[in-house]
Every structure is written in C-alpha cells, then in structure tokens.
Amino acid sequence: KPKVFISEPVPQEVEEYISKFCDYKIWKEKYPIPKEILYKETKDIDGLMTPKGVITEEFLENSPNLKIVSNIAVGYEAFDIKAMKERKVLGTHTPYVLDETVADLAFGLILMTARKLGELDQYVKSGKWHKSDNQKFLGQDVHHSTLGMIGMGRIGEKVARRATFGFNMNVLYHTRNRRPQLEESYGIKYSNIESLLENSDFVLLMLPLTDATYQLIGQEQFKLMKQSAFFINCSRGKIVDEKALIHALETKEISGAGLDVFEVEPVDKDNPLLKMQNVVTLPHIGSATEKTRFNMVMKAAENLVAGVTNQVPPDVVDELRELLEN
Ligand code: 8YV
C-alpha cells in the first residue's frame, strides 16, 4: 500500500476510508505539527494531506517519493507551484464544497458591520441597555444598497445570488474573467475597480491570494471608497495592505470593516484593528461549519487516495493540471 501522512486529526469515517487504500499516519497532537516532526514523518511518503500546506523546495527535497499534496482548503497560496511542477508533485484543493458556507459568512460580516451587531451584543450583555440610548443603535441598511465585489468565482457567485435575490442589492463586480451569464441571470454589473470602489456601500473581497492580488487594496483604493462604506474581507488578509486599512479606519476615510482574515494569523493582540468599535473581527472561520468541514476533509481524502493509486485526482489545482498530461 502507498504511504501517506495526515498532518491534523480527521473524522473517523475519513480515516477509515484512507485506511482501505493506504498505510497512513496521522498527527493528532497540538496543531500545527512542529516542522522537525513533519519533516521526519514525511521522508518516505507518497502522499501528504494537510490544511494549508506550506510546500517549499526544501520540503519537496525531503520527500523524494512524494506524488501528491492534498490541501484541506480551497486556497493554496502556500504551494510553491514552480517547485511542484519541476518535481512533478500534484497539488489538490477543496473547491465547491465550501462555497455556500463562505457566502453565508460574507453576509454575516456585512450584517454585523452595517447593523453594529457585535457592538450591540456587547452593549446588552454589559447590562447598560438604557432606553435613552436608542440613537446609538442606528446602523445602515443592507437591503437595496450597492455591493462591490472584487472577485467573482465559485464563492462570489453564491454571494451575488444572495445579494440580488435575498437583499435586493445592486451588485457591481470586478474580476479577471468577466461572467456574462451571471450578469444576465442576476443582473450584476461589471465595473472597473476604481468606479466599483467609488460607488459601493460595501466592498467585499472574494478572490484568491496570488502574486497578482498581493496588497491589491491599499491607501489609494481606500481613498476612493465612500466615507460611509464598509470594507469586508473573508478571502485572505494579504490581499490588503493592513496598515493602509488601519489608517483609513483611523482617519474615517471609511465607516467600518468586517474581517475574517488578517495579514498575520492568529492576529497579534496589539493589532489596532482589535481596539476599533467599528471593526468586526473573526478568527478565519469562513468554511467552519460541521458539515462543510467534514465535506472538505472527505474531498481532500479522495484527492489523496486518487493521487497515490495512479488515478486522476478530481481537484488538481489549475496551475498543475499540465502534470496530468504526461
Ligand atoms: C480554511 C480557507 O482552510 O479553504 C480555505 O482556503 O481559508 C478555509 O476554509 C479553514 O478555515 C481551515 O483553516
């Protein structure tokens, strides 16, 4: 049987599935696995399953038999694609199964920021609720407002559907590959980034972190946004220049932010964002429902097993698809 290593605990059912096809070892202790142990355990494996695997030249050098890295996440910015290509190591991820769940969370952040839900929850729990305070509760409408989406992929389209049909929002979007069919069915409008930023009440990032999107949103972009607008990010923190975001919030260039992701995670306790009333912060939980996490891990297991048993894994990342041709 091929040898595989799994670097975080997985549900029993997934373990049983893997055990049918592979000799396997699982790291069940504290997350994340220390680097020395990971390197020791993966010296002669054929496959690795890992959440957000940091796959470097050095790691690949250490695992010469490796055929596949199965990432238990849809984002795979930690793959060194060039090195994986050179060594013919396949990389897979977990698209589709988390789309609706992350789209729900995007709306959670939109509602929380616009209607001050986190702040007001704290207020009631603090026992300070007083009738004369009711001016404090005034937020902004989400329905019939304008949502500007940067990125319109698998998750984006689920957000757009909620926005148009659920909240009667006007949706502007910007993306690499324009989506005429979505424009027709949902009435969303393609826009350049500048006019999207100028005209949106909510600016939502819904795109992967790549060399091209690293710090795509910075000082210049925040300046274009409306003072009344909210900035929402449940993609990746590094798509934003976080210092510029802090500055925009401090100087009231924008009204608030809803953040599930940060430049550094877990976020530093001294990060000024954590002290701001108009910023909602979550610990990167976009896909975190029981059902979706199970489906992600199962999908990752299917990719892993396919990759070590000479079948074509269903979810090879686009940049490595060429490896399937040889
Ligand atoms: C995380 C994600 O993987 O899929 C992704 O790319 O960012 C999330 O689903 C998840 O939060 C586990 O860390």
196 in the same domain as 171: yes
Give residue ranges with CB within 6 A of ligand 1.
51-52, 73-75, 98, 284, 286-288
pLDDT at 83 over 80: yes
Domain check: are 157 and 273 in the same one? Answer: yes
Interface pTM, i.e. ipTM: 0.94
- Residue 135 banded pLDDT, cuts 50, 70, 90: confident
Asked whether residue 244 falls in the same domain as residue 143, the answer is yes
The count of domains in the chain is: 2
Domain shared by 137 and 253, yes or no? yes
Domain with 131, as residue range(s), is 99-281
75 C-alpha to ligand 1 centroid (Å): 7
Q: What is the pLDDT of residue 65?
A: 98
With bands split at pLDDT 50, 70 and 90, how would you rate the model's confidence at 53? confident
Shared domain check, 302 and 240: no
CATH number at residue 143: 3.40.50.720
Residues 37 and 90 both lie in one domain: yes
Name the residue of 74, 79, 92 whose CB sits within 8 Å of the most ligand 1 atoms, as the mutation to test its pocket.
74
Q: Using CA atoms, how far apart are residues 86 and 198, in angstroms rounded to an integer?
A: 43
Distance of CA 275 to CAs 72, 112, 119, 279, 295, Å?
32, 16, 12, 8, 35
Give yes or no for a cis peptide into 180 (omega within 30° of 0).
no
| One domain, residues 154 and 277 | yes
**What is the percent of the chain where pLDDT is above 90?**
96
The C-alpha atoms of residue 297 and residue 303 are separated, in whole angstroms, by 10
- Say how many Å lie between the CA of residue 39 and the centre of ligand 1: 23
pTM for the model: 0.96
Query: Are 64 and 149 within one domain?
Result: no
Kindly state whether residues 242 and 112 are assigned to the same domain: yes
Whether residue 204 is predicted with pLDDT greater than 90 in this model: the reply is yes
Q: Catalytic annotation on 100?
A: no
Based on the fold, state whether residues 153 and 64 are members of the same structural domain: no
pLDDT for position 242: 98
**pLDDT classification of 133: cutoffs 50, 70, 90:** confident
Residues 156 and 267 both lie in one domain? yes
With bands split at pLDDT 50, 70 and 90, how would you rate the model's confidence at 132? confident
Cβ atoms within 10 Å, residue 24: 20
Residue from 86, 265, 321, 322 carrying the catalytic annotation: 265
Which contacts (CB < 8 Å, 24+ apart) does range 175-181 have? 175/150, 175/151, 175/207, 179/152
The reply to whether 304 and 167 lie within a common domain is no
Mean pLDDT of 127-147: 92
Whether the predicted pLDDT of 76 surpasses 90: yes
Shortest-distance Cα residue to atom 11 of ligand 1: 285
Q: First-to-last CA distance in the chain? A: 23
pLDDT of residue 94: 98
Q: What CA–CA distance (Å, rounded) separates 141 from 256?
A: 14
Q: To test ligand 1's pocket by mutation, which of 8, 52, 207 has the most ligand atoms within 8 angstroms of CB?
A: 52
Q: How far apart are alpha carbons 240 and 218 in whole angstroms?
A: 6
